Amino acid sequence: MLDTRPRRTFAVISHPDAGKSTITEALALHARAINEAGAVHGKGDRKATVSDWMAMEKARGISITSAALQFEYRDHVVNLVDTPGHSDFSEDTYRVLSAVDSAVMLVDAGKGLEPQTLKLFRVCALRGIPVITVINKWDRPGLSPLELMDMIERQIKLRPTPLTWPVGEAGDFRGVLDRRTGEFIKYTRTAGGATIAPEKRMASDEVSEADRLVWDNAVEEHGLLELDEADHDQARFLAGETTPVMFASALQNFGVAQLLDLLLELAPAPGPTEGVDGTVREPDDDFSAFVFKVQSGMNSAHRDRLAYARIVSGEFERGMVVTHASTGRPFATKFAQTVFGRETTSVENAYPGDIIGLVNANALRVGDTIFTGPKIEYAGVPSFAPEHFMTVSAGDIGRFKQFRKGIEQLDQEGVVQVLRSDLRGDQNPVLAAVGPLQFEVVEDRMVNEFNSPVRFARLDYKVARLTDAEGAEALKGMRGCEVLQRSDGTHVVLFADSWRANATARDNPSITLEALPAGGA
Ligand code: G4P
């Protein structure tokens, strides 16, 4: 049966530690609690949705994997796509952002805009993703709200349009002024941060004496914002010119309900998408989807390989046979799952905006399109500029077969870029990473999953440029650079520094040397 409920597909992004995991779980539990007739969940339940599955992630306390969490809220289906938190994995975050229609940016009220915050805002701008900004941790001392607005405007060049305004300074969070109704939404602290923090809406004249001073202050600042025309404008928000702002404490569940309501009200629904040849698929056309992440090892018992695909158009039915755009071959979708952390559920049907995990998808790579009906192919997910380079070889030459298989698999998943050349041969490929932590993931997985210890040797390169076949030919043998090839056929030229890359470009104006977007923190 066709599921016509509207969808919202978004990601929560932030600098590490701003509260992404906390708010993700609060959103999910809040929605679930609402749907389960108002049951209140305490903090103990949060443990159930912890999204880490690799032992290494646990040890480091960071989330390396990405998956999607789906829940219902007020007759909508909400898809929350999880993003990795560590800056080394910004390439992964970038890919995830190709699968969402909007993003929620968390800013730590005490720290303001941090390096990763700025970078993520830039990535959203580049991809045209509208951003809702949440100033989190308002229960703790922090910057003044006007100062934070000023930072967003100056450093990100996005106009902040607060929808709520805090009543009480950071550290003394009484509630918020709903700037569109003028009401006071008063919060009450609950023990242990239960899922639904009690909220009470009241008109200005109902505000108690105890809250009067801070309320008047909020009203005054709201007036300043009005004078400054910092009010929400849906068209400008969708065009990426403004960012609606709200204030919250994820830990205490303050503002979580408002965020969900805002997502339903303001965030865009899945829309038409253009293919590389300019043809456009509307959400109700034939089925199409693109793969934005490939992952294996979710379940060490059967080592499944999952390709996460975002549905662009049409209805997905389990078992349907689709066409793999890059090979033209049929792909049978025997099983599909929704996955979040350890919880997997088999999917029978899915719709535009939904994320499906396709099982046994050995042929699918990041950026690939699958479809039914007339051919469509979506632009691949662009990659960031690698800045760290190592050669890798099998630590145990007797396990070369496992080594080759593992490296190929990690390459296809996009864990790291694998570069090869005739000169280096298959036994000694070059690994290129945006951040050094990617090498640790390679080492960990090669040992634990592929049973092949590896040896790394550092290479003295810092800069990569892309070239074409002619450029690769011309540059081969030239001093100060090395020409290699990615498994998708792209020619990559490595230089010791950007000075040398620029000099080579200057001395050889006919050779194409293209830079990739910077990804490092
Ligand atoms: P991340 O995924 O963005 O990296 O952040 P995470 O949710 O793990 O939160 C980082 C820390 O900030 C956690 O504290 C978390 O409890 C705290 N935190 C998140 N939201 C709020 C908030 O609204 N107010 C306050 N005061 N703290 C918040 P921790 O000590 O590292 O972990 P834990 O022991 O509390 O779990």
pLDDT digits (tens, 9 = 90+) for 24-37: 878 877 776 554 43
Query: Please, which pLDDT band fits residue 318 given cuts at 50, 70 and 90?
Result: confident
Ligand 1 centroid to residue 112 C-alpha, Å: 15
The number of angstroms, rounded, from the C-alpha of 440 to the middle of its chain's C-alpha atoms is 21
The number of angstroms, rounded, from the C-alpha of 155 to the middle of its chain's C-alpha atoms is 21
Q: Do domains 7-166+231-266 and 388-515 have the same CATH topology?
A: no
Query: Please, which pLDDT band fits residue 357 given cuts at 50, 70 and 90?
Result: confident
3-class state of residue 498 by DSSP = helix
Structure-block tokens of residue 229: 């025309």
**Concatenated DSSP letters for 109-162?**
TTTBS-HHHHHHHHHHHHHT--EEEEEE-TTS----HHHHHHHIIIII--EEEE
Structure-block tokens of residue 181: 């109704």
Q: 327 vs 175, 287, 370, CA distance in Å? A: 55, 17, 10
What residue's CA is closest to ligand 1, atom 9?
19
**In sequence order, which residues have a C-beta less than 8 Å from that of residue 227 and are 6 or more positions away?**
none
Ligand 1 centroid to residue 85 C-alpha, Å: 13
Structure-block tokens of residue 423: 């000169």
| Per-residue model confidence (pLDDT) at position 132 | 98
Q: Do the annotations mark residue 193 as ligand-binding?
A: no
User: Residue 89 has what DSSP assignment?
Assistant: G
| Per-residue model confidence (pLDDT) at position 53 | 32
Beta bridge partners of 331: 322
pLDDT tens digit string along 60-94? 333 333 467 778 888 998 898 877 655 555 567 77
pLDDT tens digit string along 249-261? 998 889 998 999 9
Average pLDDT, the chain: 85
User: Residue 2 has what DSSP assignment?
Assistant: -
What are the backbone dihedrals phi and psi of residue 242, each rounded to the nearest 5 degrees, phi first? Answer: -130, 160
Architecture, CATH, for domain 388-515: 2-Layer Sandwich (3.30)
CB 253 within 8 A of CB 262: no
State percent of the chain over pLDDT 70: 84
Architecture, CATH, for domain 273-371: Beta Barrel (2.40)
Beta bridge partners of 408: none
CB 236 within 8 A of CB 230: no
Q: Do the annotations mark residue 395 as ligand-binding?
A: no
Q: State pTM to two decimals.
A: 0.80
What residue's CA is closest to ligand 1, atom 18?
19
More confident residue, 466 or 332: 466
Domain 7-166+231-266 has CATH 3.30.70.100: no
Ligand 1 centroid to residue 198 C-alpha, Å: 21
Distance CA 136, CA 509 (A): 49
Q: Which of 8-22, 131-145, 330-344 has the lowest mean pLDDT?
A: 330-344
Q: Do the annotations mark residue 83 as ligand-binding?
A: yes
Atom of ligand 1 nearest to the CA of 252: 23
Arithmetic mean of pLDDT, 432-457 = 90
Ligand 1 centroid to residue 251 C-alpha, Å: 7
Does 42 have pLDDT greater than 60?
A: no
**In sequence order, which residues have a C-beta less than 8 Å from that of residue 102 and are 6 or more positions away?**
8, 9, 10, 129, 130, 131, 132, 263, 267, 268
Ligand 1: list residues with CB < 6 Å: 14, 16-22, 85, 136-137, 139-140, 249-251
Q: Where are the domains of the chain?
A: 7-166+231-266, 273-371, 388-515
* Helices (H) then strands (E): counts for the chain: 12, 30
Q: Do the annotations mark residue 222 as ligand-binding?
A: no
Distance CA 349, CA 318 (A): 6
Structure-block tokens of residue 13: 């992004």
| Per-residue model confidence (pLDDT) at position 372 | 96
Query: Please, which pLDDT band fits residue 135 given cuts at 50, 70 and 90?
Result: very high
